[in-house]
Amino acid sequence: MSEQSRPKSARSAQSASRGESRGDQPGARKPRTGASRGGAPRSGSEARGGSSRGGSSRDGEQARAERPRRPRRGAVTTAAPAEDFTPVQGTPSRPPAASFAELNLPSGMMKELGAQGVTEPFPIQAATLPDALAGRDVLGRGRTGSGKTLAFGLPLLVRTAGKRATARHPLALVLVPTRELAQQVTEALAPYAGVLGLRITTVVGGMSITRQSNQVRRGTEVLVATPGRLDDLIQRGDVRLDDVAITVLDEADQMADMGFLPQVVKLLEQVAEGGQRMLFSATLDRNVDRLVNRFLSDPVTHSVDPSAGAVTTMDHHLLQLDPADKAETTARIAAREGRVIMFVHTKHGADRLAKQLRAHGVVAAALHGGKSQPQRNRVLDQFRDGQVTALIATNVAARGIHIDGLDLVVNVDPPIDHKDYLHRGGRTARAGESGTVVTLVLPEQRREVNRLLSVAGIRPTITKVRPEDGELKRITGARMPSGVAVMLPVPASVAAAAAAVAEPAAEGRGRGRGGAPVDGEARRRPAKRTGGLPKDVDMSGNPRRPRPKQRPGGGSSQMAAGFIGKSSGRAKPGSGAKSGSNYGTGRQRRKSD
């Protein structure tokens, strides 16, 4: 039977058989599939050209069946990043705890949990607490707002209770990447540390290192620190880590992304050997494999599905708009009733947007790394109290800031990395609440933002909007700003300090503007100085340098230019009459001034 007369199905089977045999041979070129370089199926002639001559439609149906189902719009799904962290297989973990009562926590801690409104453990807490309380090394992965702080904080405090630290030697260490996260961890653990009689100290950059050094020198059981400041204190001899028995790395992946990995390794090498190590983060990837393989012993891994976490509802929206409408759209969203966090890329962009919003009548303040820590704390306090309604932030606020009741986060500038998107959105829908994450997308940003959200495992609702659209108001609560420029409120402490400084200065002046006396008031002369200037400083307050000793004798020979000493007697010393220079004379000083 000839090749032409054979049935088409037989020829297709033989062709497929030959293709498989060629693919099994070493070095054989594999047949091209219908997929493009990025993984998307090719269309048209490209797809036909890439398939085998006798391929049937059954292969295409099987490929379509193997594709993952697309989630519904607005839902959060679990997707492994391209460089996911390598899971560790070891001793099986303990069963999760159904309640705090099963964990045999101290009675004082149980009462404090009730006082704080914590009645049921969140999934990440229920999974990790039994192993952490038993002293196991733990790898915990859970989305932002899922309760990771108590997941590692409660075991750390319980296992440290009853011990007393000596000066400069803490017993437990929590390393975090940012100042805000350090303060949040301290505030969350301080009530439970207090009932157990434990001292907790925070050491971060941007604050007085002398004050932090004094606190550590007096002794503290729990130390919450950023790597850079802790390394500085160790170099000064103010801290030693050889008594640290429990070490926690919170947001370890961000510490690696920020370049802290060498410092973290250096610090972990100084803690006591055989101690407990716990590593928690919203995302774990291959950047932390080095830490896991080197410093954790037989760790148990708990990865909580975001959909099973404490977050009940988080809606994701992409608002497509034209560049000309972005400024007005942003202003309308910021003028909504209630608070909002808006993220931008740069600190200059944050300052600029906050200034523009205040000019439109929105009480907005910027938060970024260019501000000192007291300034950042003041802005956060004003935002929590409602004095500031729009917080314009860079990624410095994407991790470690907890604001109760915040229901909207807006990405004015879309994030660059999928982890940044997750942590920005994690400022809302925390601890069982619901919230909305909105990203403003220009036409040239659509492809990159879609790719980023695909990696993050999120399929948002896409809407094309204009500033006056009702859909924008429905999603974000946007409204027209007042247009009346506003000023940032001055904190009471700052106003009181300014008044205290201004009051003594005003006592010596007249009551008129600029110190001028009002009508009928005699001009008061300034009080005569009695003490004079100190003799050991000059007019600028700098220490006076002693005059060089004069050479003995008063010869008539001409002295070197500029020498201040005894002259021939026909001119006063230092006058310059014979020296040929005005160096050191009052006349020359007046000219230079």
Residue 22 or 574, more confident: 574
Sheet holding 246-250, edge to edge: 200-203, 222-225, 172-175, 246-250, 276-281, 138-141, 300-303
Looking at the predicted structure, is the pLDDT value of residue 304 above 70?
yes
In contact, 367 and 396? CB cutoff 8 Å: yes
Residue where the block lists tokens 């906050």: 354
Alpha helices in 461-526 (DSSP H): 470-476, 492-507
- State how far the Cα of 121 lies from the Cα of 150, in Å rounded to an integer: 9
User: Helix or strand or coil: residue 376?
Assistant: helix
Residue 203 or 311, more confident: 203
pLDDT confidence tier of residue 207, bands split at 50, 70 and 90: confident
Torsion of CA 555, 561, 562, 565, to 10 degrees: -10
Tokens of 172: 């437990």
- State how far the Cα of 366 lies from the Cα of 368, in Å rounded to an integer: 7
Q: How far does CA 293 lie from the centroid of its chain?
A: 26
User: Helix or strand or coil: residue 400?
Assistant: coil
Residue where the block lists tokens 């000219």: 591
Residue 121 or 507, more confident: 121
> pLDDT at position 212, please?
95
- State how far the Cα of 131 lies from the Cα of 134, in Å rounded to an integer: 5
Mean local confidence (pLDDT), 562-579: 48
Residue 399 or 218, more confident: 218
Whole-number percent of the chain with pLDDT over 70: 63
Tell me the residue length of the chain.
593
Topology classification of domain 100-308: Rossmann fold (3.40.50)
Phi–psi pair at 187, nearest 5 degrees: -65, -35
In contact, 432 and 310? CB cutoff 8 Å: yes
The CATH number assigned to the domain with range 313-476 reads: 3.40.50.300
Looking at the predicted structure, is the pLDDT value of residue 463 above 80?
yes
**Predicted TM-score (pTM) of this structure:** 0.58
Tell me the residue type at 480.
Answer: M
- State how far the Cα of 335 lies from the Cα of 361, in Å rounded to an integer: 8
> pLDDT at position 32, please?
42
Work out the mean pLDDT of the chain and round it to a whole number. 76
For the segment 1-10, what is each residue's pLDDT rounded down to a tens digit? 444 444 444 4
Tell me the residue type at 166.
Answer: T
| DSSP character at residue 453 | H
Tokens of 431: 């601890």
Q: Which of 31-35, 59-63, 376-380 has maximum average pLDDT?
A: 376-380
Between 184-188, 228-232, 583-587, the lowest mean confidence (pLDDT) is in 583-587
Looking at the predicted structure, is the pLDDT value of residue 92 above 80?
yes
For the segment 236-248, what is each residue's pLDDT rounded down to a tens digit? 999 999 999 999 9
> pLDDT at position 150, please?
94
pLDDT confidence tier of residue 549, bands split at 50, 70 and 90: low
- State how far the Cα of 316 lies from the Cα of 414, in Å rounded to an integer: 13
Instruction: Enumerate the CATH 3.40.50.300 domain ranges in the chain, comma separated.
Output: 100-308, 313-476
Between 66-75, 82-91, 204-213, the lowest mean confidence (pLDDT) is in 66-75
For the segment 168-190, what is each residue's pLDDT rounded down to a tens digit? 999 999 999 988 889 989 999 99
| Residue 411: closest CA among 376, 452, 374 | 452
pLDDT confidence tier of residue 425, bands split at 50, 70 and 90: confident
In contact, 400 and 182? CB cutoff 8 Å: yes
Residue 483 or 524, more confident: 483
pLDDT confidence tier of residue 431, bands split at 50, 70 and 90: low
Residue 183 or 27, more confident: 183
pLDDT confidence tier of residue 40, bands split at 50, 70 and 90: very low
